[in-house]
Structure 1
Amino acid sequence: MRRMTVAGMLWGMGVALATLSGCGAPLPVEEDSHETGAETVGTERAALTTRTVVLTPTADAHVEAASPDTSFGASTTLKVSRTPEALTYLRFSGAELPVPGTVTSARLRLFAMNNAAQGVAVHDSPGVHIWDESVTWNTRPSWSDSWLTSTSGPVSSGTWVELDVSGMYIPHRYYSVDFLLSAKGTDSLTFGSSESFEFKPQLILTVESAEDNPPLPPAPLTLSGAPVSFSASADTFVDAESPGVAQGSATTFKVDSAPMQEAYLRFPVQGLTEAVQRAVLRLYVNSGSDDGPSVYALTGLPWSESSVTWSSRPARTGSAVEDAQGLATGSWVDYDVTDLVRGNGDVSFGLYPTSSDGVTFYSRESADASLRPRLLVWTGAAKSAPTDACLTRTEYVADPLSALHDTYAAADAPDSKFQHHASLRVDADPRAEAFLRFDVQLRPERIHRVALRLYAIDGTGNGPRLYRATAFEGATTDWNHRPTPLGEPLVDLGAVPRDAWVELDVTNVVTASGAYAFALLPDSTNSVGFASTDAEERGIIGGAPRLVVTYESAPFCSYRGTKPSGTTAWVRQSGDAQTEAPRHVAPAPDGGFAVVTRLLGTGPRPVESGHTVTLHRADGGVAWTRSFPQSGVQLEKVVVTAVGNVLVAGSYTGAPDLGKGPLPQGSGIVVMKLTPDGTVDWTRGFRAWFDTPGEHYDNPMDVLDLATDAHGSAVLVGTFWGYTDFGNGPVYSGKPFPYDDTYPNSYVLKLQWDGAHLWSRVLAGTSLVGTRANSVAVDASESVIVGGHAGDNTHFGGGTVAERGGFVARYGVGGDFGWARVMSARFSEVSSVGLLPDQRIAFTGNFNGYLSFAGQTWVSREPEEYDGARDALVGVLTAAGGDVGLRQFAHYGFTDMVVDGAGNIVTAQYGEGNLVGLGEVGWRQDVLPQPTLAAFGPALESRWVRVLGPMSMDDLHLASAPEGIVVVGSLAEALELDGTWYTPRSRRSDVLLFKLRK
């Protein structure tokens, strides 16, 4: 598709543009600048925006060794030479670029006044260089010429010399870019300076942005099974101009807005035995369109292809799940309908027009069966629940490889390099070709599938073809030095939707380790663009190319122990269209449990959009759910009292209202009580602050753990800066506000069942790290047990403790100090505390260095290294704080710990299940994630260990249950558990809940 590009405009206007800009002023050169692909009608959507900015110097001058005290800043020329030596300095600076976005390429243009055989070199030495146009040879800045940025070849008089300086970082605001120019050869060179009327130097910037681009849809899930193809059981279209006519027997169906025509399809999905991982509606285009239709779900009302008309047509529901732009005649189009196909049963789709440029597809009545509509459904690979002693299974794991190089080359800019541009362009007119190169180091496991995954930022009715190509480097690739395609095309893309993922299967190509280069060559004059690696790395838009290698592991033991301990009792999945991640789980007295989750938006960098608190029954079913969409709130912890009230705690900013009036203005923590039916009973807010004579600071304050006692009190620990007031007057943390590498100190707070203050303590250390209270538990006597890290000189209540390290402390029911055990080491920390049935205290943590416990010295893996690896600990103290036992493991630490209904200490960790000591367990130990759960008896003996499929360890939480433990985690990938596959319903992140037996 031929259109004047910004680059093309500059070639013809370079001199005039520089003249118009004036010395030092930036000149934006813009198109109506969406990166365009297929022409569209009526679907104006913001995508990647590309603009060009031309800057002229704010200062330039040259200096000559032969005239060491002479300033040439007012000269109309700039000079570089070796004999006698002459150097040129250039500066481009300003407060802000005139257009928003990120600089993705930069070219320095100089007008040559004479010929030279070897040209000019550009240097960009780091650091601050102080100079102005009065600079002379004797006052020139110190500048290392080893920092070579770009060079030119031979130079002809009367021509513009262009040098690629894209490797430099040029910020959008307060930019200042300095260059040093030197001669490459013995020939001297003269260029026009900023004092020249026509021949000013130019810095030409490509600025790209995608601020208004739609959020990226979730990436396709890993495919473990083969597709199942379903034929349509009904398809038809309806026409507003023939409102009483049924079209079900037609061999084609149409979608158009002039006249209005809509199409409907139904597929009987049957025989699926596993969870759906992907679903695609595949249609063949009989007559194309510049703007194809969108796909919607239909309401559940029945319709018949033989009788449905415009007047009796079904209604669509929800928003479009997929949208196609240009659709070429004689091509296939794939609509991703994964979100609408969740299992067996009839599924109906509606095709609705987005323009007056109608499209026609072949229907199920087509005489050519190969052109009829199909629904392709991929599910998890069929598996059976393991029954052997160690629960043998295999794992499918996707390894997405980033491109080593990616770029494109354009025939109408044969000398330009685009390796830093945000898009990879492919077009036939003007010709543009895209190239990608990957360095592949395959694992020893069996390769299940290899796919090149791209993100289309605009669409086309007839996408490019994929070829193998010769090796290349992005920095040296232009039209005249581009890779050569090899052999026949590997894949012909067909129609490519805008803002959609595209996967090209290259399983038969990538069969061994090595370098693989690919070329995307146009198959039509409709331009298409894909997000580049630089686009993602520079934060412009996500969706960088990936070569996704999916492996199937060799069979491995996923469990060691004695059944039924650690085996699955039940599994539940919950979630909606938003990303949902659990924050905490706590047991309820009736055997149920409560979960607090965080909801995230759908953008490439999802932002919080609220929280939910859910009470579950003992079988995992939902008793009730309450939503809290208020902004400025982070609900972190939950606990259920003996009478079924639910206490929730977290942090806040502003003055949010959670149902009982605004919280105190500022930043602080919130505690909330919900009644057994989920009604908000009360909220309490406590803010942190620090005041100076001239300024007020709202300080951060966090909740790190929450517990309750037999009377329904809320007992919480966390950190704060400056001052806070829990209801008994202001207290000081010992640290005024966040600064440098300091960390806050902590509080312990107990609130009565009605939210009234009972007692509180500040735990303050004098060291930079501070004192951090991580965990809290309440024993049978209602004493409060606190665990964490003690900074230097912490006062727990019985006097100052000079040593620092992991600690466990005990306070009586009224807050009186009982005891504190500090485990001194170079670094040590207690991350969790819990109560055994006999009221001894279990704890987990980690340490580096040397630690003394129970009369023994424990040594970490790298005891002499200040930042050495930390080793994990699980230990037991008496109720009086005496040492009982300790176990050490050569991994960083446990992410959670609870005591189950049988008195076992159950932990969660990142892999390393072999270290539990029950035998080999899990896949390769270097493959993450491998969420691992382990149980230890009251004497710290290993009971069982189990390795789960890929889940986020950051969101894996444990709660005790009468017959075992409840595990809550984030389901963001396809996960197989006991022979059954689970996939997130909206391909984002759901909450997965399951119970393991004690």
Structure 2
Amino acid sequence: SATGYQVKRVNSQTWEEGQITYSNAPAVGSVIGSSGNFASGNWTTVDVTSLVTGNGIYDLGLTTTSGTNMNFNSRDATSNRPELIIQTSMGGSAPTATRTPTSAPGATPTRTPTATAGAPGNTLTFTTVADARVSQTSPTTNYGTSTTLQADAGSTQSYIRFTASGISGPIQSVKLRVFCTTNGTNNGPAAYLAGSNWIESGTGGVTWNTQPTLLSGAVDNKGALATSSWVEYDVTTLVTGNGTYTFALIADSNDGVTFSSREGASDPQLVVTMGTGGFAPEPTITFTPTATPTPINAAPATSTPTATADVPVNTLTPTATAGTPENTLTFTTGADTRVAQASPTTNYGTSTTLQADAGSTQSYIRFDVSGISGTIQNVKLRVFCTTNGTNNGPAVYLADSNWIESGTGGITWNTQPVILSGAVDNKGALATSSWVEYDVTTLVTGDGTYTFALVADDNDGVTFSSREGASAPQLVVTVGP
């Protein structure tokens, strides 16, 4: 393009990738930067430093004054997807150099940098949050509360789910660890990545008939496994960062094997080792005299030399200053739905609306929270009231997160999750076409999965947008230093 494009700020984060059109696209703001001329088949780069202030969600709009159509790869392309590249320096503010004179004989100083090592790698160990085996011979039986997991070719396989959070550096290795109990094997199972949309036990609990889909090929297929020993699977290629992961153990031999489940004595574990992230701190530079001073105007051997004045040597001592400012993390819901007493077996997981009406309809909203690295100052649940306001809005509660949004086993009135807290931030009148903020600070303690229930105590019902609607629910977490 001979003209290029402009990158503009987009202040709204209420648009949905699968639903945005030219007509409902959010407004763009001021120009942040421009690409200038560029040729096809090349990367283009625009400096957006002024926009990005720290952790958070940033929306950008691309516009042009050119009449020439420009096409770029999207994130759905197989290569050359859009990238945001952030270069950081050492933590805190830049060091302040303090000049401290020290006495030393006159000499030519040399700079001796003393490098300080960067932070070492960290190891995070997660225990499973859900696990179960399924059996072909009992295709409708759920084993989610069993103390054992099993794998036997064609007849029994097991699923293990983890929620990984706090991963903040490059991943070096990831190990799935399971404990082989009373039944070893000469030919152990392989590990696979599987879908995480399944329930461990109870109503809708996973069975052979409802087991999740496999998402990868076999990884680290094992040979002989001894009883009473830990087995480690290398699943590094399957874990890309924070998130929820399900691993399937599937055998290709009928010499079955038994492992401990999380209800047993030795929970399965996921061990993530991270490398050194960021940049090493700046070196401390010390000036050290290396030459021997030579007297000025030296006299004959019988005379006393005239000493010269000492020459001060300067030492630069970096002084670290202020710490990290507040960060705001905004999460969009990963699953949401309403349930209705009048249709107790109907699932509404794909509906564009959430509703709350006393005794008849309530809604559930789930978030996966990760990246919280400081003190939580406040947490807001934000929902958008659409076409039906109310004079008496619902309260928010914490609920169990073991439910499926839609499809097989999808949540209904009869299978809705258990409420885990009392009412928090009970609302009064709510206007249509407006965002409603619930203070849920007391319910969020850090990284993890959280489900919030909107339950009304009045039959003047209210309607909110779901994640399938135009304005998905949000969880806004403000973290202090």
TM-score w.r.t. structure 2 length? 0.36
Which of the pair has more CA radius of gyration?
A: 1
Structure holding more strand per residue: 1
